[in-house]
Amino acid sequence: MKFGVLIFPGSNCDHDAYWTIEQVLKQPACFLWHESHDLENCDAIIVPGGFAYGDYLRTGAIAKFSPVMESVRRFADGGGLVLGICNGFQILCESGLLPGALIRNTGLKYVCKPVQVRVENAATPFTNGCSQGEVLTIPIGHMEGNYFCDADTHSQLLRDNRIVFRYSTPAGEISESANPNGSLDNIAGICSAGGNVVGMMPHPERSAEPELGCVDGMKIFLSMVGAMARTEPFNLLTRRSRDSV
């Protein structure tokens, strides 16, 4: 099962993601250059963290126009798995693959520390290896991680169970004190309507092996491998209707 890791000018977590996939997860991986349309027959795409195009204009605003993102959109529309991490989450929102936007942290400071996130939806391809309500410790590192959307979009996310992660206390409580950036409803990650695209601000690749002090992030990547082992594209809405029959 082959992973593709995008590279934009300014990406700085691309090699971290590549290392985690190839050396820790033991799955084939390749880098995908921003000027190329070729996804090289990858089964899953990682849009990594960093500062794509220097975060000029606003985070992700230029990256969404890159040739590779045209291919990623088509890939996602066909049910392919796409994970956006930190700056990757910002790019997915700017590209229209996910709703809402990531704006400046309420404290107006860069925040870099381990945080706890509660798994709100364990039925996605990215969380099927987790338990519902499980609390994961995963680091963050961002200046614009404050997720925001309008009231109608928020209602839709709630109705369709598309909030995947919320910032929480170690005990799993959702509180203002556990929110590191002012994110609406403590949102740390969401998924697309089909469930095959996820954006998250925490960095699972930074908590994927014991040397990093935590391995909770590996559950995200292991979940993806498990999902890709299925023979059909993942569609959360289709699977919900099947499960209800």
List residues with catalytic annotation: 86, 203, 205
Token digits for 140? Answer: 């963050």
- Strand, helix or coil at 78? coil
Please work out, in degrees rounded to the nearest 5, the angle formed at the alpha carbon of residue 114 by the alpha carbons of 121 and 165.
10
Q: Is 29 exposed, middle or buried (0-12, 13-18, 19+ CB in 10 A)?
A: buried
Q: In sequence order, which residues have a C-beta less than 8 Å from that of residue 215 and are 6 or more positions away?
A: 207, 208, 209
Residue with tokens 């409803």: 185
Vertex 113 angle, CA 59 and 138, to 5°: 85
Q: How far apart are CA 114 and CA 86, in angstroms?
A: 14
The answer to whether residues 194 and 234 touch, using CB atoms and an 8 Å cutoff, is yes
Q: How many CB atoms lie within 10 A of CB 171?
A: 10
Separation of alpha carbons 113 and 138, rounded Å? 9
- Tokens standing for 188? 């740390």
